[in-house]
Structure 1
Amino acid sequence: MLDLAFSTEDLAHTRFAFSPAWEIVASVRVLNQPGAHALHLPWVKRATAALDAAGLDIGLLRDLVPLRHLPGFLAGTPASPLPELTDELADLRDVPARVVRRELDAMTGPRSPALNRFYRDPEAGLERLAAVMERYWDLVLAPDWPRIRALLEADVLHRSRLLAQGGAAELFNDLTPLVRWEGGTLTVAHRHLHAAVPLDGRGLVLVPSAFVWPRVFSKTDPRWQPVLRYPPRGIATLWETGTATAPGALAGVVGRGRAMLLTELAAPASTAELARRTGLSAGAVSQHLGALKAAGLVSGHRAGRHVLYARTRAAEVLVGGVPEVDC
């Protein structure tokens, strides 16, 4: 159990960010233990096939992603809301040799030959590691990054609305059942960590991550701004394609296509994401969203290069008892 003590200044410095480098690290953990991440099995099959076909050796990366303690340098705290992978890998290449050795010394268990080689020559090891991570990204994550990024952006939009509506308590208590906010302290249910950590004005970086499901990960090393990585809202829909159904009663009122869209908008989503989930064409989705927006049932919010659509309060009442798809 980890208790993070917040001050007013900590709340002022709390922010959201994504991290492509972290998604690499977390996805390797999924490949190492696919049975513990059943939700991602469709991706695991595709990724394994792509890696085998390319003959890419990710042994060093696998060795750096054990069951518990991750080296802190492997995925640093994002410095901006959406850093580019090239920038994160440049930071990785600049990690001092003494930091690499200290983090490797902190890892438990026997050290593999690849890690021993890394320990002896950290500078060359970091260059190899960055090159492997870049190639790995191109092969198994870049093709799915638009859909992953859309899910992460939708999560941040949803939680920003919660913060505006109910403050920090509503934001934090909605993150995941593994996190609880009470009396200025955020309690994170870690199985192998028991600590109380004051944030000391540094704030907290909240990082939604597709591949952390079903767990949460935190980093409180004083050398970096503290980070909490959690599964985004709607993670259960990430790998679905064309499986949405329309509730009969609602479809009878607004039509099958629009009923499917309203049901899928339990969490904000882009036109492309809605087309993928429902099996409708992008043009049909745009047309339906235009009609729903004109009727005051959805609203659009720009997030980077995309527009995310969300149900309005009127739509929430209309959808009523339709269950939300969540993690």
Structure 2
Amino acid sequence: MVEYELAGTDVADVRFAISPLTELTLSLRTFREPGRYPVHLPWLRRTEQARERLDVPLLTALTNEALWTPDYLTPRPHSPLTRIDDELEAAAGVPPHRLLDDLAAVHPRGLPAPLRGDPAQVRVRVAQALRTYWDTCFAPWWPRMRAVLQADVVHRGQVIGAYGLGAMFAGLSERIRLEDGVVRVRLGSPARFRRSTAGAGLTLVPTLFTRAASAPISPEEPPTIMYGARGAGNLWQAEVQRAPGVLTDLLGATRAGLLTALGDPASSSDLAGRLGVTVSAVNQHLRAMRAAGLLTSARHGRSVLYLRSELGDALVGRPG
């Protein structure tokens, strides 16, 4: 049981924030127990080939059989607009003693082979593996993930305004309760401590990769609670497309074909081969549709991967 004594019972002591690195780290649980996260099976299938190119032994070693993860890789974010680059930079500079303490907390019986060796080198390997994992499996889908997380934050704010903090905390998880100014979180870990939020506040972090509630296992960490975001079940819903003629009349045959094809990330060269259009022509169309807000893009190695945005999904007919 982790207990946080709220320094004040008003909204000022509680804030919401989103952490890309927390999502990245907690998603590693699906490597060990994909069956416990059935909602993400479509994403796991879509990224199966990409994950074959990752340092899977090291990434898997960042969790244990109880699905704990190192605290330094689930940092307390400072806003709903936290950037992955900033968080990975901070993780790459974590002090060696902190690295060892956090890894030992996850693996008290001894570190797995991928995490052994000089702490400075382990720190670099972990940061590099996570960066590759982000670029390969997360960046193309992050706009969709972030939209679900941000929608959850808006909803929680509405609950506070209508019913108060107690109702909001009760709605986060059955493991979380606010009683007499103390937020109590029942965890699956043996962590037991109580601390005040005075001077630090309490940060609530929605995540797509927890089934209940999580909190740092060390009382030295800033007061933080991670909870399951609403709407995760809709994130990977199968696409429902309107008749192709509707899009063709609106966008033209080539752009309609590109928009329809980009339910999964793809590069311009891949799209050119699939649609029988030159790469230069595809790039011209992609830039125009991205400027119109229909696509998002992310660099992967030497390629740029494109993916439909929420607006593009709505135009094709995918339920949001």
Matches within 5 A, 1:141-152: 141-152=138-149
Letter in 1 for 2:203: V
Contact 2:194/2:219 (8 A) holds in 1: no
Q: TM-score if structure 2 supplies the norm length?
A: 0.71
Letter in 2 for 1:31: F
Query: Kindly, what percent of the aligned residue pairs are identical?
Result: 32
Name the CA shift for 1:193/1:278 in 2 (closer, same or farther; >3 Å): farther
Structure 1: tracts of 5 or more residues without a match: 245-270, 286-327
The residue number in structure 1 matching 2:238 is 241
Matches within 5 A, 1:112-191: 112-117=112-117, 121-191=118-188
Counterpart Cα distance in 2 of 1:87 and 1:17: 14
Contact 1:179/1:189 (8 A) holds in 2: yes
Name the CA shift for 1:274/1:189 in 2 (closer, same or farther; >3 Å): farther
Letter in 2 for 1:153: Q
Q: Deviations over 1:275-306 (max 9, x none)?
A: 74796279xx9xxxxxxxxxxxxxxxxxxxxx
Letter in 2 for 1:73: Y
Contact 1:205/1:227 (8 A) holds in 2: yes
| 3-state SS, counterpart of residue 49 of structure 2 | helix
1:5 and 2:5 matched: yes
Name the CA shift for 1:200/1:10 in 2 (closer, same or farther; >3 Å): farther
Contact 1:10/1:204 (8 A) holds in 2: no
Contact 1:209/1:231 (8 A) holds in 2: yes
Deviates more, 1:91-100 or 1:108-117: 108-117
Deviation at 1:109, TM superposition (A): 3.0
Structure 2: tracts of 5 or more residues without a match: 242-293, 295-308
Q: TM-score if structure 1 supplies the norm length?
A: 0.69
Query: Which of 174, 192, 195 matches 2:192?
Result: 195
Matches within 5 A, 1:31-70: 31-52=31-52, 55-66=53-64, 67-70=66-69
The residue number in structure 1 matching 2:79 is 80
| 3-state SS, counterpart of residue 236 of structure 2 | coil
Deviation at 1:10, TM superposition (A): 8.2
* Count of residues paired in the alignment: 252
The residue number in structure 2 matching 1:93 is 92
Counterpart Cα distance in 2 of 1:154 and 1:71: 27
Contact 1:5/1:196 (8 A) holds in 2: no
The residue number in structure 2 matching 1:312 is none
Deviation at 1:218, TM superposition (A): 0.7
The residue number in structure 2 matching 1:314 is none
Counterpart Cα distance in 2 of 1:275 and 1:86: 26
Deviation at 1:29, TM superposition (A): 0.9
Counterpart Cα distance in 2 of 1:210 and 1:64: 18
Q: Deviations over 1:301-321 (max 9, x none)?
A: xxxxxxxxxxxxxxxxxxxxx
Counterpart Cα distance in 1 of 2:85 and 2:27: 18
Counterpart Cα distance in 1 of 2:36 and 2:14: 31
Counterpart Cα distance in 1 of 2:130 and 2:191: 32
1:280 and 2:317 matched: yes
Letter in 2 for 1:203: G
Q: Runs of at least 4 residues of structure 1 off by over 4 A?
A: 271-275
The residue number in structure 2 matching 1:305 is none
Letter in 2 for 1:138: D
Deviation at 1:105, TM superposition (A): 3.1
Deviation at 1:198, TM superposition (A): 2.6
Deviates more, 1:24-33 or 1:79-88: 79-88
